[in-house]
Structure 1
Amino acid sequence: MPSSPRYFKLALVLGLLSAIGPFAIDMYLPALPAIGASLRADIGTVQASLTVFFLALGVGQLAYGPVSDMLGRKPPLYFGLVLFALASVGCALATDVQTLIALRFVQGLGAAAGMAIPRAVVRDVHTGTDAARLMSLLMLVFSVSPILAPLAGSVAIALAGWRSVFWSVAVAAVFGIGLMLTSLRETRPPADRVRAGLGSALSAYALLLKDRSYLGLVFTGAFAMAGFFTYLANSSFVMIDHYGLSPTMYSVAFGVNAAAFFGASQFNGSLGDRFGLAAVAKGAVTACGAVMCTMLLYFAGGGGSLAVLIVLYFIASALMGLVIPTTAVLALEDHGANAGTASALMGTLQMLVGALVMMIVGVFADGTPLPMVAGMAGGALVSVVLAWATLRPGRAGYGIATRDAG
């Protein structure tokens, strides 16, 4: 297992860069009811500002991935962070919900760089369970966003109103640019870069879209994440408006579930060494589906306890921490030459699936837990089916892969 200070420094830098975009989601969540009241918008319209961010976060990665394979990892990261910072300032100054929605889309396009490229950097330097360890450590750093951002957002909103959220994330982007300048080396040297051009990018995407194993792994992670996205879009309305939690208490409840995800993910390397990454992912996704079905049956049967919602989702979140990083590592395993493109397509498909599920659930959202829980359980069940179809004994990942790519 890599254990040098350089290894942990890389995880720290990549985790913080990856967290800047999600920070703009998680810090924003406690502000949703206040934004609706301030801009005179209903729940569905306010949620659209979250949905378009996810759409842009997905679509934008399609460009950043191939560009990072052609030009190196750092130039597109710089571009994305600058775009994100400028759009954040625009969001802070928006006076109507339509302008806010448009600028959130631009903000998401900027944030997409920080989602696609760090995964490619991980693949540049490690594969197998070493990559799983680095990916999990990166996600531990990344966890500062869902754990601390909602609480930071609620404090900022209480002190200076919802617009302060966007000023805060603009400052975070500027900090990220400084971090890249001083602490991130280029991991895609000129000799490894692919031929520039639209044709080469399209060829790389065509190759990936023909790889059934890659797509199965990507969509297994995508539908597992879709349940989490559904929770993101609806939990503030359910917990604040339906259950009566304060924004601060909501932030604490949200952070506890996020901590379960990122804490469990730290076991991916050791479990992968013992059982194989694919077996870990398959077992965890199956258990997660069972937990989510239990939650759905409880609420569909008339249950309404907030404690049941929090406890069961805590368990499901921990299990997802074993699913999402491992499926990402397995999907990228055989695509080192086009790691940026493979990471981008993965991110795009996962974000688009998440946005689609959020929109479907949004049609039925009424502020009560049941529509949210149904969407979460549906995503988990689709993920279970895909995992069993893709992760069969004898396929890559059932063995223990620990080779080092760099």
Structure 2
Amino acid sequence: MLRFALVLGVLALTSPLAIDMYLPALPQLARDFGATEAAVQATLIGYFIPFGLAQLFYGPLADARGRKLPLLLGLGIFLVGSLGALFSTTLPGLVAWRALQGLGGASLMVIPRAVVRDRYTGPDATKLMAMVMLVISISPMLAPLFGTLVLNFGNWRAIFAALAVLAAVGIALTTFVLPETMEKERRRPVSFSHMARGAKVLFTDPTFMGLTLVGGFGMASFFVFIASASFVYMGSFGLTQTQFSLAFAVNAIGFFGASQGAGTVAQSVGMSRMVRLAVTGFFLFTLLLFLLVLAGYGSVFVMGGCLILANACLGLVIPTSMVLALDEHGDIAGLASSIGGTMQMVAGGLMIALTGPFFDGTALPMAAAIAVCGLIAFLLTTLVLNRRTATA
């Protein structure tokens, strides 16, 4: 099990590092290219949208061709994207290479969980999955600190060099250490007609779509923060790269801490009621943040405090809303999970694209965009859960 934990841990942390590791370098990147904040944010959008869409591809491919081939394909694409980003000389070129990174990185979110299910069951599977999920949960908080450490030895290009090395290590581990966990007799060809029928059911189900988008706009608030935080914290608040990385990690503690207790809270108050209350709290805390910033009280401590509370609410919302969305679709849970994950990533990318032109390096546009995400999530929750109660 230690061998599996090592390999899957390296694979699982690669994509979160690709998203968050270079956040401290975004202002530097903007200066080097002479670009605006909104233009630099396109390097995040370029990663998020292919990353979300490609998850629909890797799951069926892994069922049809085994686990190692799609993993190696994804890692190879990610490696090429990292090297391309390393040597980019224009911002549009960097966006394109980031998109290629996202296209490859999607495999590293989908397939490791399938590898766990293939090889282990019962308590052993739970233990190994917990290790993988811990890496996925902790690495986004620590990634900016890793990025700051790398920046001490070079500029933003050094971060992509580090990601290329990580991808090469992943290829070596997958090739020489990780065995194929899906026997040929268990593999099944991709059925596009079955996928189309399942997708039609999901896209015409208001409950599934509504709850998925509730989680999606919750995630979108994270993405808005990720895209803008380095400019606000280092530019407007005057933090150093290390201080920004620490502030980023603290803001994420609320989410990951609350998510660990979501199951216990749901058992006490019920899943639907918990989502309703938590989304209401998320909206109120994001609205409070916006009003305080608007009134001129948007210090780094006010920002951090409100975001910790808002993100703690999201820690209860995001995993539970997906469980509720899948509740009536057990026969196509895999497809529903893939579509749900894709929709959430795309919603986040589109939110950055729509709000990016309004960012000016200060806290107000970021706080406003996060509050808009909270408002949309609140309205969707009210509509969806009222309908769910009425039809129950």
Same fold, TM-score > 0.5, yes or no: yes
SS in 2 for 1:95: coil
> 2:296 aligns to what?
302
Structure 1 residue 231: Cα displacement = 0.3
> 1:95 aligns to what?
89
Amino acid at match of 1:63: F
> 2:269 aligns to what?
275
The answer to whether structure 1 residue 289 and structure 2 residue 283 are counterparts is yes
Separation in structure 2 between the aligned mates of residue 338 and residue 360 of structure 1, nearest angstrom: 32
Q: 1:74 to 1:45 in 2, by over 3 A?
A: same
Any conservation in 2 of the 1:69–1:339 contact (CA below 8 Å)? no
Q: 1:322 to 1:73 in 2, by over 3 A?
A: farther
Separation in structure 2 between the aligned mates of residue 391 and residue 136 of structure 1, nearest angstrom: 30
Amino acid at match of 1:93: F
Residue from 70, 75, 83 that aligns with 1:76: 70
Residue from 21, 43, 58 that aligns with 1:27: 21
Separation in structure 2 between the aligned mates of residue 190 and residue 210 of structure 1, nearest angstrom: 35
Separation in structure 2 between the aligned mates of residue 184 and residue 392 of structure 1, nearest angstrom: 48
Q: 1:220 to 1:34 in 2, by over 3 A?
A: same
Separation in structure 2 between the aligned mates of residue 197 and residue 247 of structure 1, nearest angstrom: 49
Any conservation in 2 of the 1:140–1:266 contact (CA below 8 Å)? no
Any conservation in 1 of the 2:49–2:346 contact (CA below 8 Å)? yes
Structure 1 residue 208: Cα displacement = 2.1
Separation in structure 2 between the aligned mates of residue 223 and residue 241 of structure 1, nearest angstrom: 26
Separation in structure 1 between the aligned mates of residue 137 and residue 37 of structure 2, nearest angstrom: 27
Please report the TM-score for the alignment, with normalisation by the length of structure 2.
0.87
Residues 36-67 of structure 1 deviation map (CA, whole Å, 9 limit, x = unaligned): 22233332221111111112112222322333
Separation in structure 1 between the aligned mates of residue 324 and residue 160 of structure 2, nearest angstrom: 35
Residues 335-355 of structure 1 deviation map (CA, whole Å, 9 limit, x = unaligned): 455444322211221111111
Q: 1:104 to 1:394 in 2, by over 3 A?
A: closer
Separation in structure 1 between the aligned mates of residue 376 and residue 127 of structure 2, nearest angstrom: 26
State percent identity of aligned pairs: 41
Any conservation in 1 of the 2:234–2:240 contact (CA below 8 Å)? yes
Structure 2: runs of 5+ lacking an equivalent: none
The answer to whether structure 1 residue 374 and structure 2 residue 384 are counterparts is no
Residue from 341, 352, 362 that aligns with 2:335: 341
The answer to whether structure 1 residue 224 and structure 2 residue 222 are counterparts is no
Q: 1:381 to 1:139 in 2, by over 3 A?
A: farther
> 2:100 aligns to what?
106
> 1:142 aligns to what?
136
Separation in structure 2 between the aligned mates of residue 280 and residue 140 of structure 1, nearest angstrom: 24
> 1:357 aligns to what?
351
Aligned length: 387
The answer to whether structure 1 residue 234 and structure 2 residue 228 are counterparts is yes
Separation in structure 2 between the aligned mates of residue 339 and residue 12 of structure 1, nearest angstrom: 28
Pairs within 5 Å for 1:59-208: 59-117=53-111, 138-177=132-171, 180=174, 182=177, 186=181, 195-208=189-202
Residue from 321, 346, 356 that aligns with 1:327: 321
Residue from 32, 40, 45 that aligns with 1:38: 32
Separation in structure 2 between the aligned mates of residue 135 and residue 284 of structure 1, nearest angstrom: 26
Amino acid at match of 2:158: S
Structure 1 residue 119: Cα displacement = 6.3
Please report the TM-score for the alignment, with normalisation by the length of structure 1.
0.84
Any conservation in 2 of the 1:217–1:390 contact (CA below 8 Å)? yes
CA RMSD after TM alignment? 3.3
Structure 1: runs of 5+ lacking an equivalent: 1-5, 399-406
SS in 2 for 1:94: coil
Any conservation in 2 of the 1:120–1:339 contact (CA below 8 Å)? no
Separation in structure 2 between the aligned mates of residue 284 and residue 294 of structure 1, nearest angstrom: 15
Q: 1:122 to 1:391 in 2, by over 3 A?
A: farther
Any conservation in 1 of the 2:41–2:352 contact (CA below 8 Å)? no
Amino acid at match of 1:274: S
Amino acid at match of 2:265: L
